[in-house]
């Protein structure tokens, strides 16, 4: 006969396995601090790439004009401005990354906790059944 | 109202029964509409801008994850713009890459909002997107609407300047930077785009904040507030920026968006505030003040099976040999169950 309680637990676990488990497995490999650092590192590269692309866009539109019409001092000041904008951009981007990584990690841990509760309940059910059989 | 609730109940049951197929149909429809819009507006590459290609790609998309629609759509847009101008295609590619790197690395689940925004713009009802994201998604989801809006205005700008971009390509001696300049100006100098972005962000955040408040009819108030912010904000902006000919579309679009928002509310948060219950209780650590608002629901029909005769003998063979005495006892049993006079059955 089908054990309804066991089916309910198995259903919850299957739903989790199907939807969230792959993402949670990645976060489960890290401590919170390590996970956030890893995300910050990835963001450093992706943010730099994004800023580089934006700079490229600006360069494509205004680069020639800047090179032809500007003096060396003006070029240097433009470069300084670009570096300052880069630092500001990265600061905001990193902050967003830290917040997002923290929330994602916390959510993942709470889902894993629930999963473990279901797993424990299921184990107890099997143990009880084994005892009854013996 | 009861009929509407019954229909809603049936739709939800139908959806839960066939979720897999309905999700596939949703993806297919969204992809097909998107590809047809791309073909109709910027279908410069004839080989990929036909209905059979769009249909085939949409069929493929319904088997792939949601974000695959965005990727395929982006490739189609880049190829179409490449047929118009290589410089415009490079700028488009850079824009898509920046959007991916900055935002979709964090929230890949919001791809549908970014996909639906240009589609809604095409149908003149973009005002639904900030309200819908405010109602259904976390506050940062508005960034996906912002991405969709930027892409729409950029592509619209490229389409409007198609002839100039082609001409500059044909003219010899023209500098490459002018073509890049035209493309980039669609992003940096489009004041209408910045106005729409600001209004959408404000409206979405206001909708989110109001619907989270513990007030009666919070969702309805949030929807109306979102619609009003958009109407007044955009009207004021259009007047300041001297943009004419947009007011009628704005009002009609807002009304349609408002109606769609109410449909969303009906399906997602239809509460019966007349039956609100307030309870208080405590445990060792806290004192709880709970406000419970029941959902409007149709009570499921209870099927009652009325058994006539001796229910104890159900499933057993009833002996017919008892004669008049048995008949009398059956009659009295039925009369008792129906609560009528036994004489009426004679």
| Distance (Å, whole) CA B135 – CA B206 | 10
Q: What is the CA radius of gyration of chain A?
A: 26
For residue B98, list chain A residues with Cβ-Cβ distance below 8 A: 50, 53-54
| Distance (Å, whole) CA B34 – CA B115 | 8
Contact A65 B177 (CB under 8 A): yes
Q: Which parts of chain A have pLDDT scores under 50?
A: none
- Residue A23 lies inside a defined structural domain of this protein: no
Q: Which parts of chain B have pLDDT scores under 50?
A: 172
Query: Distance (Å) from the C-alpha of residue A54 to the closest C-alpha of chain B?
Result: 7
Contact B180 A97 (CB under 8 A): no
Contact B97 A93 (CB under 8 A): no
pLDDT at B54: 93
- Residue A36 lies inside a defined structural domain of this protein: no
Query: How far, rounded to the nearest angstrom, does the alpha carbon of residue A8 sit from its chain's CA centroid?
Result: 31
Query: For chain A, what is the domain count?
Result: 1
pLDDT at A47: 92
pLDDT at A87: 94
Q: What is the CA radius of gyration of chain B?
A: 31
- Residue A34 lies inside a defined structural domain of this protein: no
Domain that holds residue A125: 4-13+41-133
For residue A46, list chain B residues with Cβ-Cβ distance below 8 A: 101-102, 105
Which candidate from A50, A57, A64 shows the least CB-CB separation from B91?
A: A57
User: What is the total residue count of chain B?
Assistant: 346
| Distance (Å, whole) CA B168 – CA B88 | 12
Contact B98 A53 (CB under 8 A): yes
Q: Taking the CB of residue B140, how many other CB atoms lie within 10 A of it? A: 18
Closest CA to A3 of A120, A102, A122: A122
H or E element at residue A100: helix A72-133
A·B CB contacts under 8 A: 47
Query: Distance (Å) from the C-alpha of residue B253 to the closest C-alpha of chain A?
Result: 34
- Residue A32 lies inside a defined structural domain of this protein: no
Contact A64 B101 (CB under 8 A): no
**Measured between CB atoms, does B101 come within 8 Å of chain A?**
yes
Closest CA to B135 of B304, B289, B265, B282: B265
pLDDT at B125: 92
List pLDDT tens digits, range B110-124: 888 888 999 999 999
Kindly provide the ipTM of the predicted complex, given to two decimals: 0.73
For residue A65, list chain B residues with Cβ-Cβ distance below 8 A: 177
**Measured between CB atoms, does A26 come within 8 Å of chain B?**
no
**Measured between CB atoms, does B91 come within 8 Å of chain A?**
yes
Query: How far, rounded to the nearest angstrom, does the alpha carbon of residue B231 sit from its chain's CA centroid?
Result: 21
**Measured between CB atoms, does A47 come within 8 Å of chain B?**
yes
**Measured between CB atoms, does B180 come within 8 Å of chain A?**
yes
Which candidate from A50, A64, A96 shows the least CB-CB separation from B98?
A: A50
**Measured between CB atoms, does A53 come within 8 Å of chain B?**
yes
| Distance (Å, whole) CA B208 – CA B223 | 10
For residue B19, list chain A residues with Cβ-Cβ distance below 8 A: none
* Phi, psi at B292, each rounded to 5°: -110, 120
Q: Taking the CB of residue B286, how many other CB atoms lie within 10 A of it? A: 8
**Measured between CB atoms, does A63 come within 8 Å of chain B?**
yes
- Residue A116 lies inside a defined structural domain of this protein: yes
- Residue A79 lies inside a defined structural domain of this protein: yes
- Residue A26 lies inside a defined structural domain of this protein: no
Query: How far, rounded to the nearest angstrom, does the alpha carbon of residue B314 sit from its chain's CA centroid?
Result: 53
* HEC-encoded secondary structure of chain B: CHHHHHHHHHHHHHHHHCHHHHHHHHHHHHHHHHHHHHHHHHCCCHHHCCHHHHHHHHHHHCCCCHHHHHHHHHHHHHHHHHHHCHHHHHHHHHHHHHHHHHHHCCCHHHHHHHHHHHHHHHCCCCCHHHHHHHHHCCHHHHHHHHHHHHHHHHHHHHHHCHHHHHHHHHCCCCCHHHHHHHHHHHHHCCHHHHHHHHHHHHHHHHHHHHHCCCCCCHHHHHHHHHHHHHHHHHHHHHHHHCCCCCHHHHHHHHHHHHHHHHHHHHHHCCECHHHCEEEEEECCCCEEEEEECCECCCCCCCCCCCCCCCHHHCCCCCCCCCHHHHHHHHHHHHHHHHCCCHHHHC
| pTM of the complete model | 0.77
Q: Which of B19, B65, B96, B106 to mutate to test the interface with A (most CBs of A within 10 A)?
A: B106
User: What is the total residue count of chain A?
Assistant: 134
pLDDT at B73: 93
- Residue A29 lies inside a defined structural domain of this protein: no
The count of C-alpha atoms lying within 13 angstroms of the C-alpha of A7, restricted to the half-sphere facing its C-beta, is 4
Query: How far, rounded to the nearest angstrom, does the alpha carbon of residue B200 sit from its chain's CA centroid?
Result: 16
Q: At what angle are helices B176-188 and B86-99 packed, to 10 degrees?
A: 40
pLDDT at B286: 80
Contact A63 B97 (CB under 8 A): no
Contact B33/B54 with Cβ under 8 angstroms?
no
**Measured between CB atoms, does A106 come within 8 Å of chain B?**
no
Average of per-residue pLDDT values in chain B:
85
Which candidate from A56, A60, A96 shows the least CB-CB separation from B177?
A: A60
Closest CA to B27 of B19, B17, B37, B16: B19
Contact B90/B52 with Cβ under 8 angstroms?
no
B window 218-257, beta carbon within 8 A of A? none
Q: Is the dihedral angle over the CA atoms B103, B106, B110, B111 positive or is it negative?
A: positive
- Chain A nearest-CA residue for B107: A100
Tokens of B46: 């004839």
Query: Distance (Å) from the C-alpha of residue B87 to the closest C-alpha of chain A?
Result: 9
Residues paired with B282 in a beta bridge: B287
């Amino acid at each position: 006969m089908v054990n309804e309680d066991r089916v309910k637990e198995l259903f919850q676990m299957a739903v989790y396995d199907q939807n969230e488990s792959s993402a949670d497995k990645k976060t489960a490999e890290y401590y919170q601090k390590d996970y956030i650092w890893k995300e910050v590192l990835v963001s450093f590269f992706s943010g730099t790439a994004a800023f580089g692309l934006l700079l490229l866009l600006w360069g494509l539109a205004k680069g020639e004009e800047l090179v032809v019409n500007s003096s060396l001092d003006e070029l240097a000041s433009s470069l300084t401005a670009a570096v300052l904008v880069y630092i500001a951009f990265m600061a905001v981007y990193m902050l967003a990354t830290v917040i997002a990584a923290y929330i994602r990690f916390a959510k993942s841990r709470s889902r894993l906790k629930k999963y473990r509760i279901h797993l424990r309940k299921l184990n107890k059910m099997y143990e009880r059944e084994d005892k009854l059989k013996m | 109202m009861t009929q509407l609730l019954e229909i809603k109940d049936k739709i939800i049951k139908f959806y839960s029964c066939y979720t897999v197929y309905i999700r596939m149909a949703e993806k297919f429809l969204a992809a097909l509409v998107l590809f047809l819009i791309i073909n109709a507006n910027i279908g410069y590459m004839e080989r990929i801008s036909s209905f059979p290609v769009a249909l085939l790609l949409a069929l493929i998309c319904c088997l792939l994850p949601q974000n695959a629609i965005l990727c395929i759509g982006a490739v189609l847009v880049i190829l179409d713009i490449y047929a118009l101008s290589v410089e415009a295609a490079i700028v488009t590619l850079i824009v898509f890459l920046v959007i991916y790197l900055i935002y979709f690395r964090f929230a890949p689940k919001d791809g549908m909002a970014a996909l639906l925004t240009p589609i809604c713009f095409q149908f003149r009802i973009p005002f639904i997107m900030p309200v819908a994201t405010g109602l259904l998604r976390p506050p940062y989801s508005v960034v996906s609407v912002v991405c969709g809006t930027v892409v729409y205005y950029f592509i619209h700008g490229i389409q409007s300047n198609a002839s100039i971009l082609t001409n500059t390509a044909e003219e010899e001696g023209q500098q490459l930077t002018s073509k890049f300049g035209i493309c980039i100006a669609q992003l940096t100098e489009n004041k209408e785009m910045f106005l729409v972005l600001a209004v959408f962000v404000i409206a979405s955040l206001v909708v989110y904040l109001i619907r989270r408040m513990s007030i009666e009819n919070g969702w309805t108030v949030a929807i109306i507030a979102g619609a009003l912010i958009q109407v007044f904000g955009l009207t004021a902006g259009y007047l300041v920026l001297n943009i004419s000919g947009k007011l009628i579309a704005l009002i009609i679009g807002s009304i349609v968006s408002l109606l769609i928002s109410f449909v969303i509310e009906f399906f997602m948060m239809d509460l019966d505030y007349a039956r609100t219950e307030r309870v208080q209780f405590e445990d060792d650590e806290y004192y709880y003040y709970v406000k419970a608002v029941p959902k409007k629901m149709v009570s499921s029909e209870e099927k009652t099976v009325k058994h006539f005769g001796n229910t104890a003998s159900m499933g057993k063979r009833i002996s017919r040999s008892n004669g008049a005495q048995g008949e009398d006892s059956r009659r009295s049993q039925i009369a008792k169950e129906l609560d009528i006079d036994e004489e009426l059955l004679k």
